[in-house]
Amino acid sequence: MEAEAAPIVKRLGLHFDDPRIIPGPSTAQSYSGTAHDLTVHLVVNGKDTRFEVDNVGTPAASLTTYLAAQAFKPDLVISLGTAGGFKTKGAAIGSVFVGTSTVNHDRRIPLPGFDKYGLWHCDCIPTPNLQKALKLQAGVVSSGNSLDWVKEDWDIMQQNGAAVKEMEAAGIAWALHYFDIPFFCLKSITDIVDGDRPPQEEFLENLGAAAQALQDTVAPVLEFISGKSVEAL
């Protein structure tokens, strides 16, 4: 979302790509620059042309990721954003998690083969040294296309040990699979999934703080990554 990206764009000194690099009619927008000797491209889904709100969810994330992978041919992708977290996994408002893997919790297809396809479990690259150096929590990132959840979603999240619930990472993983590009996730917590407050209330209340926490984490992450191989993360 624009509110998630803006602090990072400012912190890293990225510039808006004009003319656009990702072709239309996609609404995706990109910002580019150099940080810690790395070439960085930050890509957002842009605004929906019908409802004039941020494009969110796995379809938008998959499309944007596919087009960005074609345009920039990155060596590594980081799925950045805010998310709900589970207090049973140690989440608190503003804490930042590194994704160890991604799954879908709302693609229930009870047919042979399609059940695993719907879940689409995908491992992120291992980042034990990054987690240790920056004292970051880690866990499974579970994606769906609703801000809230129903019992079936909850059951799947519990079965897969979800620590984070959000709306994009599994779609990003799906698209990157076709390019064989390594990736991991950084997710800052806006709301507590297994808490007692509606997620929409906590999300709106804590979006700014979570975006700030994400901004404060991205620069040290890039500094740690700089000059290292994927295997050294």
Q: What is the pLDDT of residue 41?
A: 98
Q: What gap in Å lies between CA 36 and CA 13, rounded to an integer?
A: 11
Q: What is the pLDDT of residue 28?
A: 98
Q: What is the pLDDT of residue 138?
A: 98
Q: What is the pLDDT of residue 205?
A: 96
Give me the half-sphere count of Cα atoms (radius 13 Å) on the Cβ side of residue 100.
11
Residues 6+ apart with CB under 8 A from 180: none
Helix (H, G, I), strand (E, B) or coil at 59: helix
Q: What is the pLDDT of residue 178?
A: 96
37 is catalytic: no
Mean pLDDT of 134-163: 97
Q: What is the pLDDT of residue 186?
A: 98
Q: What is the pLDDT of residue 25?
A: 96
Q: What gap in Å lies between CA 209 and CA 94, rounded to an integer?
A: 6
Q: What is the pLDDT of residue 24?
A: 93
Q: What is the pLDDT of residue 90?
A: 96
Residue with tokens 């500094």: 223
Q: What is the pLDDT of residues 53-78, one digit of tens each?
A: 999 999 999 999 999 999 999 999 99
CATH code for position 192: 3.40.50.1580
Mean pLDDT of 23-43: 97
Q: What is the pLDDT of residue 163?
A: 98
Exposure string for 63-80, b = 16+ CB within 10 A, e = fewer: bbbbbbbebbebeebbbb
Angle between helices 199-225 and 2-12 (to 10 degrees): 30
- Catalytic site residue from 2, 4, 17, 166: 4
**Biggest CA pair distance of the chain:** 49
- As a whole number of Å, the end-to-end CA separation of the chain is 27
Total number of domains constituting the chain: 1
Q: What domain range is 54 assigned to?
A: 2-232
Q: What is the pLDDT of residues 160-217, one digit of tens each?
A: 999 999 999 999 999 999 999 999 999 999 999 999 999 999 999 999 999 999 999 9
User: Would you place residue 109 in the very low, low, confident or very high pLDDT band (cuts 50, 70, 90)?
Assistant: very high
DSSP code string of 76-88: -EEEEEEEEE-GG
* Omega before 25 within 30 of 0, i.e. cis: yes
Mean pLDDT of 20-36: 96
- Catalytic site residue from 54, 106, 191, 202: 191
Q: What is the pLDDT of residue 149?
A: 95
191 is catalytic: yes
Q: What is the mean pLDDT of the chain?
A: 97
